[in-house]
Amino acid sequence: MCVLSAGLAMAWFDWDPVAPLLAAAGRTVVRFDRPGHGLSGPATDPPTTAGEAHRIAGLLDALGLGGPDTGPVTVVGHSIAAFHAEAFARLYPERTAALVLVDGSVEEAPVRSFPPRCAPAQPAPSAGP
């Protein structure tokens, strides 16, 4: 199961070239418009990465997907939605099978918020003389 989240000023239908390929491979494909994008009305509050992650979770809840009965999902985020997809993976690791970031950005000084089981490996201490 794949959730496709479009980039800034894009909409669900911008995934039209990709969705049939995933569906032909047997994937359930979910595409949606964030508030203020595509066919959706404007947002009432400014977006945040956590808020957009919760929006993805709410969408999956409404569809009955991405839970214990249906299994985790692959979340794909394009451009700014890469931040939202990454936030979903961090906040809902049990619901995330894989994370695909398409033309996403990288924070130069990221806040270290890894869950303990996902913490990056530390370099081994150097051997003294």
CA distance linking residue 81 with residue 67, whole number of Å: 22
Encoded tokens for 57: 């979770």
Distance set, CA 87 to CA 36, 77, 96, 128, 129 (Å) = 20, 10, 11, 40, 43
CA distance linking residue 85 with residue 49, whole number of Å: 9
The yes-or-no verdict on residue 128 having pLDDT over 70 is no
Q: What are phi and psi of 57, to 5 degrees?
A: -60, -40
**DSSP E strand boundaries for 1-129:** 2-5, 29-32, 73-78, 96-102
CA distance linking residue 106 with residue 82, whole number of Å: 9
The yes-or-no verdict on residue 30 having pLDDT over 70 is yes
* pTM exceeding the 0.85 threshold for the entire prediction: no
**pLDDT value, residue 108:** 66
The yes-or-no verdict on residue 25 having pLDDT over 90 is yes
Residue-wise pLDDT tens digits, 62-102:
999 999 899 999 999 999 999 999 999 999 999 999 999 99
